[in-house]
Amino acid sequence: MIVVGVDGSECSRSALRFALEEAHVRRTKLRIAVVWHVPLAAYGAGWAPPPPGLTEDAEIAAGEVLAEALELAKANGADLEIEPVLREGQPANVLVEEAASADLLVVGSRGWAAFAS
């Protein structure tokens, strides 16, 4: 099995295309994972929960990302067994859990946004 993490970015779409090709070559199942997370916000001397509705909105947006990824996968991998996964949590931790029994974990570049390294 191959697991690919998708977040809606162009880099993750490239990762999905690679994972699709690799799943074809290996003749294996593809698990498409979208992970969403809304962190607590620093507030004065403590932590504040997210504003009302933000968590639900994040889950809905993640579901839309997964639907888009599934459309791309089905258009390019009709003969593959595809397993969708939508989970809340820290993306790196969830992807490692989802890939625990996989042969390969595919992720895109994190890009050059706020933290370049």
pLDDT of residue 42: 61
Average pLDDT over residues 95-100: 97
- As a whole number, the mean pLDDT across the chain is 88
pLDDT of residue 23: 96
Q: Where along the chain do its domains lie?
A: 2-106
Average pLDDT over residues 59-69: 96
Q: Which residue has the higher pLDDT, 94 or 74?
A: 94
DSSP per-residue codes, the chain: -EEEE--SSHHHHHHHHHHHHHHHHHT--EEEEEEE----EEETTEEEPPPTTHHHHHHHHHHHHHHHHHHHHHHH-TTS-EEEEEEES-HHHHHHHHTTT-SEEE----TTSS---
Average pLDDT over residues 6-30: 95
Q: Regarding the domain with residue range 2-106, which homologous superfamily does it belong to in the CATH classification?
A: HUPs (3.40.50.620)
pLDDT of residue 50: 73
